[in-house]
Amino acid sequence: MRILVIEDEIKTVQLIKQGLEEQQCEVDVAYDGLMGFQLASRNHYNLIISDIILPGINGLELCKKLRANGISFPILLLTALGTTDDKIIGLDSGADDYLVKPFEFKELMARIRALTRRSIGAIQTANVLKIADLEMDLDTKSVSRAGKEIILTAKEFSLLEYFIRHQGRVISKAELAEKIWDVTFDTGTNVIEVYVNFVRKKIDKDFDTKLLHTQIGMGYVLKMPN
Amino acid sequence: MRILVIEDEIKTVQLIKQGLEEQQCEVDVAYDGLMGFQLASRNHYNLIISDIILPGINGLELCKKLRANGISFPILLLTALGTTDDKIIGLDSGADDYLVKPFEFKELMARIRALTRRSIGAIQTANVLKIADLEMDLDTKSVSRAGKEIILTAKEFSLLEYFIRHQGRVISKAELAEKIWDVTFDTGTNVIEVYVNFVRKKIDKDFDTKLLHTQIGMGYVLKMPN
DNA sequence: ATAAATCTTCATTAAACATTAAAATTCCCT
DNA sequence: AGGGAATTTTAATGTTTAATGAAGATTTAT
């Protein structure tokens, strides 16, 4: 996701840039209207966020100019001018949305999501759990360690997921029995040992640093060794 | 320009309807969420304006349902709930814009212009979903693989559409039951297996690279094999 | 050294899924 | 409205895969 921010207040720029980069967006910044226009003409963006009051070309003229040149990226205007007429002028200049300063950052993010939803399947929303070099993707149900793919069965996957979600905490067998096998009573079985063994073979066996450790009499922990 | 207004307050409806009709728009009105959903499913609109607080299905659920069903008309939510979090929830439900009551009519009109600007003169972009050499045209409801036409029934089509829209993600049977068959409880049936089998026969059987894969205990994925 | 706890292997059992056919339902055409 | 084809669903059966429990090996704590 590439976003162009056109704004001359350094503080606002930093706030927006940082927040967007946390969401894995690439952010370009222009500090005046002309520079914004040139960047937008030369590159492809998924969204332009622009202030109205800018040195040189102002945000409204910028919108009109971009639209006149056939540039159709979504544009979000960001400004202190909050009367209804200001908004109307802004929207009719070719902007897609209009947010009045001061705004809450989370509202900005929501409006960005709404504007960019159509172009890409929303902002990167990958659903990944991690510990060390072990990664688990909950959407694709795939697991990898050090980039190497690991195939797990459904039970193995649930078990490992539980460990990753509670990494660093010692999990008793009773807790695993209840959470993964849905039994509260002790059935006198050794399934848990067997499954811990399965998972270890797949995630630890071929690697030097072991992640899944036994605490005799207490349970198991998933963590980096000390 | 066809617009669907979903709102149960007669006064608001009249205000909007009259204003829009003065601008030469065709306006349909639904007084509750279910009726809105049905109208939106059956007809093509350039814009949906919906209240959030509605009898039956509320506006947020309505947005989600419409989006889940692949309906992509712009949606503008119109509501008295004005906190930032309300707006975020609204926008993240799939709405394109959010206006807090009471609003000035001219702002509503400006936002409508902004939302519909794109669909008006815009050239009909073909509505095609793809994965590998498999293509699905949502307008003509036709499917082909490697250029060869494939005939699907309605259920088969919805199922495949859901898979293509979520390609790469493992979809559980529970999710399919809910999204394609509209049942939340387990009816102890095997329709899903049967339909996956139908779809496979049509899209995979005659081809070398299989696209629809089973992940035992987890669900099904549509993806290129590794 | 010994008992308890855990690990490992493997055959067995059970669950999940695939496939086919037939029944029920819907749709369509006269 | 009624009959027939197409679609959807249920049911029965076969196949594959994963989950389990038992038994012996190994490790750990005392």
One-character DSSP codes across chain A: -EEEEE-S-HHHHHHHHHHHHHTT-EEEEESSHHHHHHHHHHS--SEEEEESS-SSS-HHHHHHHHHHTT--S-EEEEES--SHHHHHHHHHTT-SEEEESS--HHHHHHHHHHHHTTTTTSS----EEEETTEEEETTTTEEEETTEEE---HHHHHHHHHHHHTTTS-B-HHHHHHHHS---S--S--HHHHHHHHHHHHHTTT-SS--EEEETTTEEEE----
pLDDT band, very low/low/confident/very high, at B121 (cuts 50, 70, 90): very low
d(CA A59, CA B180): 45
pLDDT surpassing 80 at residue B28 = yes
Supply the pLDDT for residue A119: 62
More confident residue, A21 or B120: A21
Calculate ∠ Cα B87-B93-B99, nearest 5°: 35
pLDDT band, very low/low/confident/very high, at B193 (cuts 50, 70, 90): very high
Percentage, residues of chain B above pLDDT 70: 96
- Across the interface, whether the CB atoms of A139 and B221 are under 8 A apart is answered no
A191 touches chain B (CB under 8 A): no
Percentage, residues of chain B above pLDDT 90: 54
- Max avg pLDDT among A121-125, A201-205, B82-86, B182-186: A201-205
d(CA A109, CA B119): 24
Q: Locate B124 and state its tokens.
A: 């009909």
Supply the pLDDT for residue A102: 87
**Which of B24, B154, B170, B212 lies closest to A143 in space, CA to CA?**
B170
- What does the DSSP assignment read for B158-192? HHHHHHHHTTTS-B-HHHHHHHHS---S--S--HH
Supply the pLDDT for residue B40: 84
Measured from the Cβ of residue B96, the count of other Cβ atoms closer than 10 Å reads 24
Q: What is the mean pLDDT of chain A?
A: 89
Distance of A158 CA from D18 C1′ (whole Å): 14
Assess contact for B94 and B63: CB atoms under 8 A.
yes
- Max avg pLDDT among A19-28, A45-54, B198-207: B198-207
- Across the interface, whether the CB atoms of A84 and B94 are under 8 A apart is answered no
Q: How does pLDDT run across A108-133, given as a tens digit for each residue?
A: 999 988 888 766 543 345 688 999 99
Q: Chain A closest CA to B72's CA: distance in Å?
A: 9
d(CA A38, CA B27): 41
More confident residue, A23 or B13: B13
Distance from the Cα of residue A202 to its chain's centroid: 28
Supply the pLDDT for residue A195: 97
**Percentages (nearest 5) of helix, strand, coil residues in chain B:** 40, 20, 40
Assess contact for A52 and A77: CB atoms under 8 A.
yes
Q: Locate A187 and state its tokens.
A: 């059935």
pLDDT band, very low/low/confident/very high, at B187 (cuts 50, 70, 90): confident
Q: Is B26 left (phi over 0), alpha (psi -120 to 50) or beta?
A: beta
Number of H helices, E strands in chain B: 8, 11
Q: Please name the amino acid found at residue A162.
A: Y
d(CA B161, CA B152): 11
Supply the pLDDT for residue A123: 39
Nearest to B91 among A114, A140, A154 (CB): A114
- Rounded CA Rg of chain A: 26
Q: What is the mean pLDDT of chain B?
A: 88
Going across the sheet that includes B75-79, the strands are B26-30, B2-6, B47-51, B75-79, B97-100
Supply the pLDDT for residue B210: 96
pLDDT surpassing 60 at residue B101 = yes
Q: Is the Cβ atom of B197 within 7 Å of strand D at any atom?
A: no
Across A65-74, A191-200, B29-38, B167-176, least confident range: A65-74
pLDDT band, very low/low/confident/very high, at B136 (cuts 50, 70, 90): very high
d(CA B145, CA B202): 9
Across A179-193, B5-19, B120-134, least confident range: B120-134
Q: Chain B closest CA to A94's CA: distance in Å?
A: 7
| Cα four-point dihedral sign B38, B40, B41, B42 | positive
pLDDT surpassing 50 at residue B32 = yes
Supply the pLDDT for residue B39: 86
pLDDT surpassing 90 at residue B43 = no
pLDDT band, very low/low/confident/very high, at B119 (cuts 50, 70, 90): low
Q: Chain A closest CA to B134's CA: distance in Å?
A: 19
DSSP tag of B43: S
- What does the DSSP assignment read for A9-54? -HHHHHHHHHHHHHTT-EEEEESSHHHHHHHHHHS--SEEEEESS-
Q: Which nucleotide is nearest to B183 (CA to C1')?
A: D9
Q: Write down the pTM of the prediction.
A: 0.63
Percentage, residues of chain A above pLDDT 90: 61
Q: Please name the amino acid found at residue B188.
A: G
User: Mean pLDDT over residues A94-104, rounded?
Assistant: 89
Supply the pLDDT for residue B180: 93
Q: Locate A142 and state its tokens.
A: 């795939």
Measured from the Cβ of residue A119, the count of other Cβ atoms closer than 10 Å reads 13
pLDDT surpassing 60 at residue B115 = yes
A153 touches chain B (CB under 8 A): yes
Q: Locate B224 and state its tokens.
A: 């290129």
- Across the interface, whether the CB atoms of A92 and B113 are under 8 A apart is answered yes
* Residues recorded for chain A: 226
User: Mean pLDDT over residues B122-136, rounded?
Assistant: 73
User: Mean pLDDT over residues B54-78, rounded?
Assistant: 86
Residues in A closer than 8 angstroms to B221, CB to CB, are 140-141
d(CA A212, CA A210): 6
Calculate ∠ Cα A201-A207-A213, nearest 5°: 60
Strand B128-131 and strand B97-100: the pairing is: unpaired
Supply the pLDDT for residue A23: 82
pLDDT surpassing 70 at residue B103 = yes
Q: Which residues are paired to B213 by β-bridges?
A: B221
Q: How does pLDDT run across B140-174, given as a tens digit for each residue?
A: 999 999 999 999 999 999 999 999 988 899 999 99
pLDDT band, very low/low/confident/very high, at A202 (cuts 50, 70, 90): very high
Supply the pLDDT for residue B122: 42
pLDDT surpassing 60 at residue B125 = no
